[in-house]
Structure 1
Amino acid sequence: MKARILQNQYYSFLAFSILSSSFIANLWIFCSVTNAQQQMQMAHSNIGKTNAAPFSGKDPITFQADKVSYDSKAGEVVWEGDVHIWQNDHTLRADKVTFNKTTNIATASGNVAMVEPDGEILFTQHTQLGNNMQEGIMDQVYALLADGGKLAANGARRTGGKVHDFSRSVYTACPICAKNPKKSPFWQFRSYQAIRDMENQRIDFSDTFIDFWGIPVFYMPFFSITDPSVKRRSGFLIPSINWSSKYIGAYTTIPYYWAINKWSDLTFIPLFATKTGPQLSTVYRARFNKGMLRVEGGIADDTVGQHAWYNSYADRSVDKFKKGAQGYLFLKTEWALNDHWRYGGNINVASSANYMRDYRINGYGQDTLESDLYLEGFGEGSYSKVSVQAFQGLNRGVINNSDLPFSLPRYTYSYFGQPDALGGRFSLNTTDFVLYRPRGVNDQRGEVALNWDRPFDDSAGRKWLITLHVDSNIYRGTHLNEQPGFYRTRKSQFTGQALPTFAVKMNWPFLREFHIGDSTGTQIIEPIVQLIAAPHSKGGRNFYMPNEDSWNYEFTDTTLFALNRFQGTDRLDGGARANVGVHGNWTWNGHQVDFLVGQSYQEHIQGHMPARSGLDHHMSDVVSRLRISPVQWLTATGRTRVDPYDGKVNFADALFNFGFSHFGINGGYIYEPVTPYYYFYRNPYDHEGASKLYWQKTNELTLGVSTDWDHWHASAFGRRSISRKETVAYGGTVGYRNDCFSADVIYFKQKTMINGEENSDMVLFMLNFKTIGVFGING
């Protein structure tokens, strides 16, 4: 259970007595210097300013009143009528204000209103302060706070100038019924007594009820918070209680916050569980003039038993970390060298994935934890970054730490120039690195990519783009026969590649207007032709050239007109080819239909490509995209890739959203005749070819529904693998929300296996009180 109080600003009304005493005391200082009637003047109020100065005995006081009288013998000054008094953006309004020097008592009565610079307003009918403003009382206190909160109290008392006692106070952030102000709000906090200790900077509450619709539902005999005038203060935070966890059972945390100084703090979070040993984690934060530092870490006695399990490849996996002491460290820092350069680092390590799973450490569920140190600079049209990177594998069913690379270092530079004398723009990119793997390919790469684009239009309305592009790389690789390359050599190799490319692209849009009833629309038909000339790269396959950034290859409408359809530059898409397509768009009365269909014609067939890639013939698959919004309550997008020789669909996906004012349905679908994720799990070039898992179809459907009515809302979703005939995940939420309160119940179930964990469930209950905070229970 996580329970947090975000900011208790609504208790700022407790500052009224300080406001009263300082204000009235300064009134006497002003009046004892000069005659009040002679000094009466108008002033401009600055209510609402957040940078207002506090009350001061030296700053002048400005007032306005219908009548002012001063009795020198009695030592008394009286303001009557519509009294307004200002000092440093603070305002006091009353029907009558009296200060008696003899008794040292100041009294304000009749529709008293005190306004603070942030907009908070305090109302009462009578307040009286005495004993050099160290003692005071206030009757029937009402407050309208800047954050929308509302307060009422029977009365308040000031003692010794340090302690303020409020009796029978009520607070709410909900609207008050205008027709029936006595009607109870949706929720309210009722306290028998609230004591503000100015010396110790804390507020203690006793006998507090939380009411809903005027009915008490929860009771707190005592609780304490830091004084709202203090931004940061050391002390215990709200503890959390979690009723159930799959691995560690019920557990509780009791955080302690230490405000070290104005720029740094430290939070201790001890955890105690029923099924495993305790954990102590800490969070240190610091901000400086030119940088920041955040360090989070923990250590635990993890006694949860480990077990072996098998992944989809039938590989047996056992966590090498035994029971006992385990821990984690997450560090983030960043510093500015000057206006153009900064450096920083991220260190993320954990003793084991099972430990992160057991104690629900942030980051569990990812495939890896990444750490890096970097230096980066920003210029006009340019960017530069040098970094070192390391990875820790968390999903042992897919990734082993010995297979992951270290980047020692990695350098990236990008430049995009201004238009030149010919109307073109030059750009340069380079990504260079040194990679080391404990088990696998080790390689070094140097790269330069040069590009020049020249767009122009002709008199027929055609839009042209001429591109001159050069990719060049040099490599040195060792252990090339190991993963992820699986090449047929054990020798160290030094090689390279260079691919100059010339491309011309023409878009010829035809535009016309049309009429449907009283509506006017536009129609665009746009043929697109692109010619690309480059040396044949044999599908980018070089048996001595490492591949670090071009494993993923997807031919769709998004890459139809790309110069290089590989994801990176270790593999280059060469050869002469022509790409053609037709783009169309109809728009009318807020509705739209947009489509693109196209195909690529290649001189050379791309070899060594995954099956069903769409580019294993001179005439590629036909790719298409369709987006429709025929009515306001329906939008849909679909994409396909179809083999022109056998008519088979090699790729398809779709998204749709159907919804009215109180109901909606959304969904998605994806299909591929293979599962490309598994293609390179083992050597795809040996006699066995790709893994059997690669030939399993990807065929999944996701569907979600949602509804809302008045203050209620609900939603549900499900994801199902049609090819495997099993549900992958499902969940939902039900909740209530109004202007001052929200409550949600969330459920999620995941049936796929991650790191040996499957059929995981999560239930979360959340309550959100406006201006107070969020309370949660999860299991």
Structure 2
Amino acid sequence: MKQIPTRFLIPILCTLGGFAGFSHTAMAEDAPKAVTEENQPVLLEADELIDDAQNNRYIARGNVEAHFDGRILTADTLYYYPETKRIHAIGSVVIVDTGGKVEFAEEMELTDNLSSAVALAFFARLANNATIGATQATHSKDGKRNTLTKAFYTACKACAGKDGSHKPTWRLRARKVVQNQETKMINYRDAVLEVKGIPVFYSPFFSHPDPEAGRRSGLLFPQVRQSGKYGFSYEQPYYQVLGPYADATLTPRVFTKLNPLILGEYRRNFHTGQIRTNGSLTYEQDFDGQGTTFGKQKFRGHIFAEGKFKLSDTWVWGFGAAGVTDDLFLRRYDIQGENTTRGIYRTNSLRLNNQIYAQGQSEQFFAQAGILRFQGLRAGDVDDQFPIVGPLFDMRRKVKDPVFDGTLMLRANTVTLTRIDGTDSRRASVSVDWSRRLVSKSGMILRPFAQGRTDLYQVHNPDFFADLGSNNRSIARALGVVGADFRWPFFRPGRNVSWTIEPLLQLAASPNGDGVGTYNSFTTDSSGNVVATQRSIIPNEDSIAVEFDGSSLFSTNRFSGFDRWEGGVRANVGGRIAGRWGKNGEVSLLAGQTFRTRVNTDFTLASGLREKTSDYVSTFSISPGPILKLRTHARFDKNDFSVRRVESDVTVSLRKDQMGPLGKVLHSFNASVGYLNFDDAIASGRPREEVRGRATVGLTEHWSVMGSATRNLASKRATGINLGIIYKDNCSSLEITYRNNNTTDRTLTPNASIGIRFTLVTLGSFGSP
């Protein structure tokens, strides 16, 4: 076998390695800048190697295969002309590079310095499974342009059908495609979008940024939608790059029933963090769910912003901002984000939260500080009655107990609440928690615990004057609790099912009451009579909601905040049983009840904790396998065992081979059902009962139908219905959806909408779901 000089093969492999990156990278960028014979060996194999001195060329013929720097070249025949420095590969030319891209050509000719290159019958499979092809591919002499003639591009898998034909879900064809290396844009002439071989869209000119060239300014795919409240809408985003670390998107949205809306988004990354902002603006009247306008025209809009920055390995700081001109603005224009938390302090439903914060955390230490301001979106909300929270400070540190060999948690917490209209207060709290885990020889687990806390309050309350003779009070109180947790797990292995049974007991003792006095608040009832109500001098700002269920059964203080304290002597009694079988099968039940020596009036009657004997609570879950999962939280009346509260969710997921006879007509089935029934006394004073469900039925491998609904069983009315038809394969998806929002909030009435979204993988989405 005669060896061809290494220097002849190096330009072949460096050059040909660039064609597969046509739509993503410049060929010149794929070529190594410096290659030497010593550090880049070439392995060349062929049936025949010829030094054709008469024609001044070298020939490799028959099963030509060359390996260079991780790349592989195969061809039927390869010619190298050293005088003209021209390379010519003929017959089933295939190049595989290190990135996984595969290139095919029937014939390829190029110069060894990359000044020009031409491939005939060119086809490439890219690393992202996309394919590109052309009758001819050319690399310009100046290295600034790659040109494809009679080209096509698709992200669908390149495989033939049963009849031998190949019709991908979609394919973009063009008479000419030019990749400009300077502008990093790909331009199409006479572009045609084909769906299953049928032309559906034509454009004489079409362009988009090079997918691997980074961010590029330009128009994004539009979104269209039909809705009863604003008619037909068209949304056209424009994306603008503002440097290497910032960008912005401006999106006009036009309607047939309303004035246009402008949406904008700005993003910027810094060395230590990032900020994100978005907002909208319009000049319009109010309108209902049918698009009927009323009221005065004025500027309306919203703004959301958040940022987070790293100060050190331990500390970060950030902010979150949210504001709207109208309570119903976001829901009128279907703008998402009203319940999104921006920052470390979580927001409540339909309450916008503005905050600035700092947070530090290590293995034994945690601290955070912040300032918060709220805007209410519910009917009856008065923003001046919401407090300005801040400064708010919380610090915790865990230390080892040197005396009793337990764990100590030291905590300090302060907060200031200021209102334009209402009660102002300041609080400072210091607490110490101690606990230790002990395990007996018989397996009983004992955890004694103790907590002590001191609170200092300053309260300014206009209601104080009538009963106390002053608007201001300074209050100090000392609180504490001691007790122990007992657990005794018993494990019984079995051939089919292994069981764990665990009796649970918690004993806790605290002083009764909240440690402070009361005052009389005077109001007038509907008959004009003056009614006096006793209230605690300490306002209840952070302990209003109490959730009594399986997760809080063994909590020493079921109030979530500082303003209320669970006092008295009580015993929390319960048990847990759990079973496991196979790889994924499991079932568990936790149930229990609370007993106390006296009534605790700090709890409401609706909480189930006020009396000496509490309601029963339980948590049940079962999962025979990945097919079925059920989880239920329930609370039952202590006297007649009637249901006081239940939250239940069940999910079912079936593949074609798991559906029995239905598998002959269906491909898959996924469904979830949730049921709620509880006394929503805090929010409305009325019982709430709701059922919601969602299902997706796979008709074939690619086609499915979906539906979801929520129904208020108390009002016997569906509050929301969604229906849809979905097509999805490896390179595209189509969603046609119908949405019916049947809720009413003040002037916002029920409405329905239809959305269509067509997604082409690697190119983008058109429409709106």
**Superposition TM-score, scaled by structure 1 size:** 0.81
Deviation at 1:455, TM superposition (A): 1.0
CA contact (8 A) 2:156 2:169 kept: yes
The reply to whether residue 196 of structure 1 matches residue 202 of structure 2 is no
Counterpart of 1:392? 375
Deviation at residue 739 of structure 1 after TM alignment: 2.5
CA distance in structure 2 between the partners assigned to 1:769 and 1:380 by the alignment: 46
Q: 1:491 aligns with which of 459, 471, 480?
A: 471
CA separation of 1:666 and 1:73: change in aligned 2, threshold 3 A: closer
Aligned-pair distance for 1:100? 3.4
Change (3 A) 1:399 1:200: same
Q: Is the 8 A contact 1:275 1:304 kept in 2?
A: no
Q: How many residues align?
A: 707
Q: Indicate the residue corresponding to 2:243 in structure 1.
A: 261
- Matched residue type, 1:728: T
Specify the alignment match of 1:362 in structure 2. Answer: 336
Q: Deviations over 1:642-664 (max 9, x none)?
A: 33335443323333334543335
Structure 1 residues 209 and 40, CA, compared in 2 at 3 Å: closer, same or farther?
Answer: closer
Task: Give the one of 593, 607, 610 matched to 2:604.
Answer: 610
Q: Which moved more, 1:760-769 or 1:658-667?
A: 658-667
The aligned residue for residue 417 of structure 2 is 435
- Asked if residue 582 in structure 1 is aligned to residue 562 in structure 2, the reply is no
Matched, 1:140 2:140: no
Q: 1:367-395, CA deviations, whole angstroms, 9 ceiling, x for partnerless residues?
A: 12222112222222212111111122233
1:289 aligns with 2:271: yes
Structure 2 counterpart of 1:564: 557
Give, in whole Å, the separation in 2 of the partners of 1:380 and 1:608: 36
Of residues 270-279 and 377-386 in structure 1, the stretch that sits farther from structure 2 once superposed is: 270-279
Task: After TM superposition, give the deviation of residue 97 of structure 1 in Å.
Answer: 3.8
User: Within the alignment, does 1:207 sit opposite 2:190 as a pair?
Assistant: yes
Q: Closer, same or farther in 2 for the Cα pair 1:29/1:159, shift >3 Å?
A: farther
What residue is the counterpart of 1:345 in the other structure? Answer: 319
- Corresponding position: 1:701 with 2:691: yes
Q: Is residue 645 of structure 2 the alignment partner of residue 671 of structure 1?
A: no
Q: Does the 8 Å CA contact 1:583/1:596 hold for their aligned counterparts?
A: yes
1:744 is aligned to 735
65-74 or 422-431: bigger deviation? 65-74
Matched, 1:379 2:385: no
Confirm whether residue 119 of structure 1 aligns to residue 100 of structure 2: yes
SS of the aligned residue for 2:682 comes to helix
Distance in 2 between residues matched to 1:419 and 1:70, nearest whole Å? 86
CA distance in 1, matches of 2:192, 2:540: 66
Which amino acid in the other structure matches residue 777 of structure 1?
S
Give the 5 Å matches for 1:684-723: 693-694=684-685, 696-711=686-701, 712-723=703-714
**1:56: Cα distance to partner?**
4.0
What is the distance in 2 between the residues matched to 1:623 and 1:494? 39
Change (3 A) 1:546 1:124: same
**What letter matches 1:558 in structure 2?**
S
Residues in 2 aligned to 1:180 and 1:418: alpha-carbon distance in whole angstroms: 74
Please say if 1:501 is aligned against 2:481.
yes
Aligned match of 1:107: 88
2:505 to 529, 536, 550: 529
Q: In structure 1, how many angstroms separate the alpha carbons of the residues matched to 2:254 and 2:672?
A: 42
Compared with structure 1, are the counterparts of its residues 449 and 96 closer, same or farther at alpha carbon in structure 2 (3 Å cutoff)? Answer: farther
Q: Secondary structure at the match of 1:304?
A: strand
Shift of 1:216: 2.8
Alpha-carbon distance in structure 2 between the residues aligned to 1:283 and 1:28: 58
Letter in 2 for 1:334: K
Counterpart-to-counterpart distance in 1, 2:125 and 2:539: 68
Q: Does 1:770 align with 2:744?
A: no
Summarize the alignment of residues 638-677 of structure 1 with structure 2, pairs less than 5 Å apart: 638-661=632-655, 662-672=668-678, 674-677=679-682
Q: Determine if the alignment matches structure 1 residue 450 to structure 2 residue 432.
A: yes
CA distance in 1, matches of 2:372, 2:674: 36
Cα deviations across residues 725-772 of structure 1 (Å, max 9, x unaligned)? 222222233312223332222333232234642313343322222333
Q: Is the 8 A contact 1:28 1:99 kept in 2?
A: no
Shift of 1:336: 1.9
Q: Which moved more, 1:157-166 or 1:624-633?
A: 624-633
Contact 1:347 1:372 in 2 (8 A): yes
1:612, distance to aligned residue in structure 2 (A): 3.3
Q: CA deviation at 1:501?
A: 0.8
Contact 1:730-1:749 within 8 A present in 2 as well: yes
What is residue 5 of structure 1 aligned with on the other side? Answer: none
Cα pair 2:44 2:67 within 8 Å, conserved: no
Distance 1:539-1:493 versus aligned 2 partners, 3 A rule: closer
Q: Deviations over 1:699-733 (max 9, x none)?
A: 22233333224323233232222222222222233
Q: Choose which of 473, 478, 495 in structure 1 pairs with 2:455.
A: 473
Q: What do residues 166-186 of structure 1 show as CA deviations (whole Å, max 9, x unaligned)?
A: 222233333313765533233
The one of 217, 226, 232 aligned to 1:234: 217
Flag the structure with more relative contact order, 1 or 2, with Cα contacts below 8 A and sequence separation at least 6: 1
Cα RMSD (Å): 3.8
Change (3 A) 1:245 1:28: farther
From the superposition, tell whether residues 71 and 645 of structure 1 become closer, same or farther in structure 2 (CA, over 3 Å): closer
In structure 2, C-alpha distance between the alignment counterparts of 1:29 and 1:754, rounded to whole Å: 78
**Structure 1 residues 296 and 726, CA gap change in structure 2 (3 angstroms):** closer
The match for 1:335 is 309
Amino acid aligned to 1:508: W
Tell me: CA distance 1:280–1:54, structure 2 relative to 1, closer, same or farther (3 Å): same
- State the Cα distance separating 1:55 from its structure 2 match: 2.0
Question: AA paired with 1:667?
Answer: V
Moved more, 572-581 or 590-599: 590-599
Is 1:760 the equivalent of 2:751?
yes
| Matches of 1:487 and 1:462, distance apart in 2 | 53
Residue 123 of structure 1 and its aligned partner are, at CA, apart by 0.9
Counterparts in 2 of 1:466 and 1:569: CA distance versus 1, 3 Å: same
Kindly indicate whether residue 496 of structure 2 is the aligned counterpart of residue 520 of structure 1. yes
Q: Is the 8 A contact 1:443 1:477 kept in 2?
A: yes
Deviating more after overlay: 587-596 vs 341-350 = 587-596
Point out the more displaced range, 560-569 or 70-79: 70-79
Separation in 1, partners of 2:228, 2:759: 23
For residue 156 of structure 2, the aligned residue among 134, 158, 174 is 174
Q: 1:235 to 1:86 in 2, by over 3 A?
A: farther
Structure 1 gap ranges (5+): 1-26, 309-317, 679-692
1:220 equivalent in structure 2: 203
User: Partners of 2:123 and 2:513 in 1: how far apart?
Assistant: 80
Letter matched to residue 672 of structure 2 = N
Residue 629 of structure 1 deviates from its aligned partner by 4.3
CA distance in 2, matches of 1:638, 1:265: 46
Aligned to 2:594: 600
1:573 equivalent in alignment to 2:566: yes
When residues 544 and 367 of structure 1 are mapped into structure 2, their CA distance, relative to the original with a 3 A threshold, is same
TM, length-normalised to structure 2: 0.82
CA distance in 2, matches of 1:471, 1:289: 42
Aligned to 2:528: none
Q: Can you list the C-alpha shifts for 1:251-291, whole angstroms capped at 9, x where unaligned?
A: 43333333232222233333444444444443332222222
1:172 alignment partner AA? T
Contact persistence 1:154–1:169 (CA under 8 A): yes
